Structure 1
Amino acid sequence: MTLFPRSHVPLLRAGSAAMLLALAACGDKDGAPADPAPKYAAEIRRTAYGIPHIKADDDGGLGYGIGYAYAQDNVCLLAERIVTANGERAKYFGAEARGATADTAPNLASDFFYRLINEAEAVANAWQQQPAPMRALVEGYVAGYNQYLDERGKGGLPDACKNAPWVRSMTTDDMMKIVRRYAAEGAGSHFITELVSAVPPDAAVPAPPSRAATARRGSPSVIDPQYWQQQHARTGSNGVALGKNATENGQGLLLANPHNWWNGDLRFYQLHLTIPGKLDAMGASLGGMPMVSIGFNKDVAWTHTNNTSSHFTVHQLQLDPRDPTSYVVDGKSQPMIRKRIEVEVRQPDGSLATRSHDFYQTDVGVVMRVPDQLEWNRKVAYTLLDANMGNHRMLEQWRAMNSARSLDELRDGIDRIVGLPWVGTIAADKEGKTMYLDVTVVPNVPLSKEKACVPDAFRELAAGGVLVLDASTSACRPGNDPGAPQSGIFAGASLPRLQRDDFVQNSNDSAWLTNPAAPLTGFPSIVSLDAQEQSGRTRIGIAQLQARLAGTDGLPGRRISMPQLQGMLFSNRVYYAGQIMDDVLRACDGERQARAASGAMVDLAPACAKLRAWDRTANLESNIGFGYFASMWDQLYGSPLFWAVPFNAADPVGTPRGLRVDDAAGVTALRTALASAVLEMEASGWGLNSRWGEIQHTERNGKRIPIHGGRYQYGIYNVIASEPSKGGGREVTEGSSYVQTVMFDRNGPQAQAMLAYSQSVDPASPHYADQSELYSRKAWHTLPFTDAQIAADPKLSRIAISHKTKGTQ
């Protein structure tokens, strides 16, 4: 049912926001003066699955429509996002609680961090640097969100925030804070507790416990390259662009498969944005961002994957022996700047108390502490310098991409603006050209400076792309390039890129193997690493493309269609099973009994029978063999008894492979792992005849929707991660999110997509679970893009909204 509040004008046929302006300019038939023309006007057409198609005559009206539409679907999510970005979580939710995702810091630490990075001066500077169209877009968005709140009232909001004290009107400052919160996702937000735990040596105030010492116990610390490899793999993405030498019709074809959390700030939202004659782009946006982040227009389609460049540098301060809060640069002592941040904290009785923390700032960032690795003592301290805290160009960057008319124009805009914070770009156009651009905000540390400025103790970290620089000399600061839009970062044109007529791809490894026929080499460590072992997703992605183009995958021809590209994603092949399962089954040919790591003797015969019958996928119908394999892999991977053929940079797609089953120690280790896997499956309640679709699910309004796919570490292209749920089975936490394929033909872009977790977080919404059902069935939805396609959608509804008040600041 479509609601028409007083400010809405129903449209009985296709129309434009211009109709509202024209009507407002006319007086009534008695000659009475007309109402003032609306400051903002937009039309919101919704098609199947609640996708809003927002049309306006200018940027302000477009932002207004986006803000209103997003609030209709996710008002509580945006209201909480405002609380987070303003550092007010502890005020409303308590100090120790956490946000929606498992890796978030406790509220108090989160508040200290966001109050620090979103100080008034930084926010004002971000706003001042927005071009006029971006200001209009944001002001309109704020007006749209606020109008929705006014119309509904706090008592009319969804249960998650109904009458909540933390729901309030939005300001343009709030939007800048949210944008800066997204920018920090590439570095600073990972260091929250490390920053908050840093206090001067011998300080009377005890340091708060650090995430490195608590939640990460037994895991790599935040300065370990392995930590960042895991982050890129977990919430990373797959992207493939196919060109005229690879597609059936000789035009471009794109697969977008970003992975992220299914809850919280990084959820995608589908939308279609139109300013007639200026902009017409469709796809998905990070929640609260007023443009298309991943999508297409009539000329170009693009997607993003988290890249492996480091977006931060760590700096080792040589301290003044007289004062551990002063440091020496070029032989001269200079004081740190102490910045006190105060936060209100809700107490158990509901009262508020003020807590404070002192951060210590320098010209190379904020002092932090990583226990047992980077300590603040009387000789040295360490700072974090997040390059994206100077990046105020994100809105401008995506807007330029949304309106790009060719692949060259897309590239030129990215090179000029350098506003993408931590994602590389994969794109295809209607002419059949493809491109990968690894152009993001990266500290300008060339190899020569790395060699001269990284202390010997940190050379191993530098080899993995994490740089600790000597701060005692100003020559070791990140350099300035006159071609860069920001001091201290590389110019866009100096960063990796590849244009091809066959394919480019990325699955969160470095730019090196974008296409194995043209490796990208010779870049600084902080930008892209060469000759590194590739993830299973990269390997299966390249292997599938190569087999299809060579005609060796059992299918006819040597070209790729859109259904075939979709099939590569949703085959749910467990890549590493193809590398080791023959050896596992050889080990099954031994004695029936094997000793588990616990010492218990286990009968392997039933498990081995299931492994032989397993189809080596993570599909809904896959049997318990997947569980046995996953448990074995978790136990064995990385051990010295693992690979029979080690990684070889000359064969990066084919290696490493095989298990060491030709020696007794390797066989024993494998059989022990298999016996332990049997016990683990029994303890988990996964019966011998269980199917994966009976185990992994997302629960919506009491209904369990089975979800296919599996964890990244098994080499499954379609990443889905899940955790044990209270009622048994496993609840999805992260993985494939907005999934899109776009094929260009003579009629323009032909797009199919699905949003795996659906459009709304409100359980009362009809779009809370509908696309999750699609995802479960692997049922692609054809996106209506043209006016004719939108008008033909049987689920079409329309509203026109207008805004006549002026308070939006």
Structure 2
Amino acid sequence: MTPRLPVSPAPLLRASSAALLLALSACSNDHHSSDPAAPKYAAEIRRTAYGIAHIKADDDGGLGYGIGYAYAQDNICLMAERILTANGERAKYFGAEARGVAEYSAPNLASDYFFRLINEPDAVATAWQQTPAPMRALVEGYVAGYNQYLDERGKAGLPEACKNAPWVRAMSNGDMMKIIRLYAAEGAGSHFIDSLLAAAPPGMAAAAAPVSRRAGPSVVDPQYWKQQHGRIGSNGVALGKDATENGQGMLLANPHNAWKGDLRFYQLHLTIPGKLDVMGASLGGMPMVSIGFNKDVAWTHTNNTSSHFTLHQLQLDPRDPTRYLVDGETRSMTRKHIDVEVRQADGSLVTRSHDFYQTPLGVVMQMPGTLEWNRKVAYTMLDANMGNHRMLEQWRAMNSARSLGELREGIDRIVGLPWVNTVAVDKDGKTLLMDVTVVPNVPLAKEKACVPEEFKSLAAGGVLVLDASTSACNPANDPAAPQSGIFAGASLPRLERDDYVQNSNDSAWLTNPAAPLTGFPSIVSLDTQEQSGRTRVGISQLQARLAGTDGLAGRRMSIPQLQGLLFSNRVYFATQNMDDVLRACAGAPQAMAASGTMVDLAQPCASLRAWDRSANLDANIGFGYFANLWDRIAYTDLARAVPFNPADPVNTPRGLRVDDAAGMNALRTALANAVLTTQANGWAPDATWGQVQQSERGGKRIPIHGGDERYGIYNAITSLPQADGRREVVEGSSYIQTVMFDRNGPQAQAVLAYGQSVDPASPHYADQTELYSRKTWPTLPFTETQIAADPAYKRIAISRKAEAGQ
């Protein structure tokens, strides 16, 4: 009988479990229990430079146990808060309107309603029951390791961020499953929090007002998703035997994630002797390597452009707006009532409530003026990943893959990746891209037949609103798929090459321009679309290297050259358009801004001429002038002298329309406006980019190179203006890794831009931020010999006895 998940939080350890810790220094001093019974969990945690955790155990339970313990050592406060979020308990401790630390966090009350909705007990129990036994052992071990560390330290011994905090508690298996579902919802559901909370039957006010946290297009606009893919995106490059100096495989992993909050990466190395040996990084709390390598394959992920949700138009019963018609029959919505405790300013607790309305096709949503719930129609959002309980199983299969074929087979069979492409390479120099994720099964024929006319334009961008009045328009079931209503893995895009594959958050179309991937359903992958600057600069640099036209020797890639592709910090749109900008500078020494202010262009134009067209630390203020100029003209006809051409997508659009007086005048006005904005930002005329963009770490300001992807900067970094004119980094390049296979196995270098720990008191809070600032790539110790030889090597062994009845 499959054990049922305990969904209510309960301590899993007794206070006496603290005695089982073996606190050891660099020279191991193992503790041997006098109890002859074997421990239920046992693991070694070896630490090397920068706090990288190498965890070794004899089985899955022990491995999870070591991961949970090590992660708690570095980030217990972050994990404790993540548990709160996934359980919908933030407002109870922090109030209704406060938000999490991530830049785009929802207000606490809104977040609580949403996570209590998706993590209701039956859904979490189902997720547990459908999790294979080895993965359940991994979770149970993780929970035991986390709780053991918490028991040993006690609340009074925790870092300042959560020391003696009432919201810190022991973890349960249910908590872990809720956290996994939190990650799954990042591809769709969490973006709809506003719309879900705004929904109420006609004549009734929603209990919660909209809580918009993102400016710009609405969540049902394809442009919204395009911006999201750019904002939290990634670059991935796999180079094969025809493209590398040694004729073996090579990989660049460059995920872009928030520098604070739940989506931070954590470096780890996992070993079960004879069974598993994998190294890389994982999203916090995930007890597997998400991006990494083993002795045979290396891989990375990039957010894909497939839609992981469908919207459904319900035809309502005119007598009751909570009933709807399907195939001529009337059905009732299910009302889901959720109570949330909310802390008031005086510390007292009150209960706030919200009712969601659900159907088998998702939760009713409302977007005023676009998707209204009225007497005739209502709309639901169905997140396909809420039925995906295979994420741990999927990454485990990838972690243990012994060949590129085995990795491919596992992804096709399990279809457990929620919202990311896979870019991979093997030791023999074969490359692979797989755009295989959980995608609603809506083929082109069904899209054509089932999308109402008024929503055809959204469908052309991959956002599908389907007619729910007929069951024939529901997402189709494929017997080859592991979940109802999604595409089978084998039907989704992939490409294998001996030269290269790449992705920078555009669709699968230009994985390699020599072999474009076309003809897929709109919900899966769009082709002949204008590409982002990151895609274009990435491909153009690869093409130039392999053609030998980049000014370097040879026509194959080395690791330093691959790392330089990222850290050159080339501003692609400047390299394309600066000649025209400088033509505008060659005119009169002053130009009038749109406000009527006359602006002196002499110094700004001198800076633009001297600027090296990069976002490196020593780049002069010319970068600031260009960035503010490009913000004004990028999406106007002025920036399309040569329009987009699907036959030349890497090089178009390009150029500025300055061959006539009107275009030149428009450009000079935009330049004058850009100068005024740069001055208003407080940037001195002699400032460098490193003096402007920084990360404050423990009172020290570390200069950060890279810049916003909208300027075509491959090394994407997003920063926000501060009161003193500085810009503080909030997201972008995070875990950055290169892997080269040679006759000695994988040779890996990596830097975690924000470090292993969120605790300012930790030595690993800012150490790798300094490395990133200096463009330093530490070599990762992978073999036992390399680990033991690391100057920072330390080892502890931990264990926990089975409790009575176990």
Q: What's the TM-score bracket when you normalise by the shorter of the two chains? A: over 0.9
- Secondary structure of the residue aligned to 2:803 is coil
Letter in 2 for 1:208: A
The correspondence for 1:610, drawn from 607, 626, 637, is 607
Counterpart position of 1:77: 78
Counterpart position of 1:199: 200
Q: Would you say 1:419 and 2:412 are equivalent positions?
A: no
- Secondary structure of the residue aligned to 1:432 is coil
1:406-432: CA deviation from partner (whole Å, max 9, x where unpaired):
000000000000000000100011011
Contact 1:367 1:382 in 2 (8 A): yes
Q: Would you say 1:330 and 2:343 are equivalent positions?
A: no
- Partners in 2 of 1:69 and 1:11 — Cα distance? 14
Counterpart mapping for 1:557-596 below 5 A: 557-596=554-593
Counterpart position of 2:456: 459
Q: Would you say 1:60 and 2:57 are equivalent positions?
A: no
- Partners in 1 of 2:685 and 2:770 — Cα distance? 27
- Partners in 2 of 1:366 and 1:11 — Cα distance? 52
1:186-241: CA deviation from partner (whole Å, max 9, x where unpaired):
000000111011011101x3453324xx5445x10000000000000110000000
Counterpart position of 1:137: 138
1:471-529: CA deviation from partner (whole Å, max 9, x where unpaired):
11100000000000000000000000000000000000000000000000000000000
- Secondary structure of the residue aligned to 2:437 is coil
Counterpart position of 1:30: none
- Partners in 2 of 1:726 and 1:179 — Cα distance? 37
- Partners in 2 of 1:443 and 1:806 — Cα distance? 44
Letter in 1 for 2:20: S
Shift, 1:99, TM fit: 1.0
Change (3 A) 1:216 1:72: closer
- Partners in 1 of 2:520 and 2:56 — Cα distance? 43
- Partners in 2 of 1:150 and 1:699 — Cα distance? 32
Counterpart mapping for 1:454-493 below 5 A: 454-493=451-490
Counterpart mapping for 1:101-112 below 5 A: 101-112=102-113
Counterpart position of 1:92: 93
Change (3 A) 1:730 1:556: same
- Partners in 2 of 1:309 and 1:779 — Cα distance? 35
- Secondary structure of the residue aligned to 1:781 is coil
Shift, 1:593, TM fit: 1.4
- Partners in 1 of 2:609 and 2:753 — Cα distance? 31
Counterpart position of 1:210: 210
Decide which moves more: 4-13 or 277-286.
4-13
Identity percentage of aligned residues: 77
Structure 2 stretches lacking a partner, 5+ long = 1-16
Counterpart position of 1:186: 187
The correspondence for 2:751, drawn from 750, 754, 758, is 754
Shift, 1:807, TM fit: 9.0
- Normalised to the residue count of structure 2, the TM-score between the two structures is 0.96
Counterpart position of 2:365: 368
Contact 2:26 2:794 in 1 (8 A): no
Letter in 2 for 1:735: G
Number of aligned residue pairs: 790
Counterpart position of 2:44: 43
- Secondary structure of the residue aligned to 1:546 is helix
Letter in 2 for 1:613: A
- Secondary structure of the residue aligned to 1:478 is coil
The correspondence for 1:651, drawn from 648, 652, 673, is 648
Counterpart position of 2:160: 159
1:329-371: CA deviation from partner (whole Å, max 9, x where unpaired):
1111111111101100001110111111000001110000112
- Partners in 2 of 1:799 and 1:232 — Cα distance? 41
Contact 2:18 2:151 in 1 (8 A): no
Decide which moves more: 676-685 or 517-526.
676-685
Letter in 2 for 1:782: T
The correspondence for 2:221, drawn from 219, 224, 228, is 224
Q: Would you say 1:339 and 2:336 are equivalent positions?
A: yes
Q: Would you say 1:272 and 2:273 are equivalent positions?
A: no
The correspondence for 2:636, drawn from 639, 651, 660, is 639
- Partners in 2 of 1:537 and 1:517 — Cα distance? 18
- Partners in 1 of 2:804 and 2:667 — Cα distance? 68
Q: Would you say 1:706 and 2:709 are equivalent positions?
A: no
- Partners in 1 of 2:213 and 2:57 — Cα distance? 47
The correspondence for 2:760, drawn from 753, 758, 763, is 763
Counterpart position of 1:7: 20
Contact 2:106 2:213 in 1 (8 A): no
1:297-336: CA deviation from partner (whole Å, max 9, x where unpaired):
0000000000000000000111110001111111111111
- Secondary structure of the residue aligned to 1:505 is strand
Counterpart position of 1:670: 667
Shift, 1:727, TM fit: 4.0
Counterpart position of 2:11: none
Counterpart position of 2:12: none
Counterpart position of 2:256: 259
1:777-805: CA deviation from partner (whole Å, max 9, x where unpaired):
00000000000000110000000000114
Contact 1:240 1:255 in 2 (8 A): yes
Change (3 A) 1:12 1:326: closer
Shift, 1:9, TM fit: 3.5
- Secondary structure of the residue aligned to 1:658 is coil
1:669-705: CA deviation from partner (whole Å, max 9, x where unpaired):
2111110111111111101110000010000111100
- Partners in 1 of 2:519 and 2:28 — Cα distance? 54
Change (3 A) 1:795 1:607: same
Contact 1:172 1:808 in 2 (8 A): no
Decide which moves more: 590-599 or 419-428.
590-599
RMSD value, Cα: 1.6
Shift, 1:36, TM fit: 2.8
Counterpart position of 1:434: 431
Shift, 1:806, TM fit: 3.4
- Partners in 1 of 2:178 and 2:24 — Cα distance? 36
Counterpart position of 2:14: none
Letter in 2 for 1:741: T
Decide which moves more: 285-294 or 673-682.
673-682
- Secondary structure of the residue aligned to 2:298 is strand
1:267-310: CA deviation from partner (whole Å, max 9, x where unpaired):
00000000000000000000000010000000000000000000
- Secondary structure of the residue aligned to 1:645 is coil
- Partners in 2 of 1:806 and 1:485 — Cα distance? 36
Contact 1:740 1:752 in 2 (8 A): yes
The correspondence for 2:800, drawn from 795, 799, 803, is 803
- Partners in 2 of 1:206 and 1:513 — Cα distance? 44
- Secondary structure of the residue aligned to 1:560 is coil
Q: Would you say 1:531 and 2:528 are equivalent positions?
A: yes
- Secondary structure of the residue aligned to 1:641 is helix
Shift, 1:387, TM fit: 0.2
- Partners in 1 of 2:213 and 2:792 — Cα distance? 46
Change (3 A) 1:457 1:275: same
Counterpart position of 2:174: 173
- Secondary structure of the residue aligned to 2:641 is strand
Contact 2:68 2:145 in 1 (8 A): yes
Shift, 1:8, TM fit: 3.4
Q: Would you say 1:518 and 2:515 are equivalent positions?
A: yes
1:711-765: CA deviation from partner (whole Å, max 9, x where unpaired):
0100000000101124441100000000000000000000000000111000000
- Secondary structure of the residue aligned to 1:256 is strand
- Partners in 2 of 1:584 and 1:366 — Cα distance? 50
Letter in 2 for 1:209: A
- Secondary structure of the residue aligned to 2:637 is coil
Shift, 1:14, TM fit: 9.2
Contact 1:171 1:808 in 2 (8 A): no
Q: Would you say 1:116 and 2:129 are equivalent positions?
A: no
Letter in 1 for 2:259: W
- Secondary structure of the residue aligned to 1:749 is strand
Change (3 A) 1:782 1:220: same
- Partners in 2 of 1:511 and 1:266 — Cα distance? 24
- Partners in 2 of 1:478 and 1:808 — Cα distance? 46
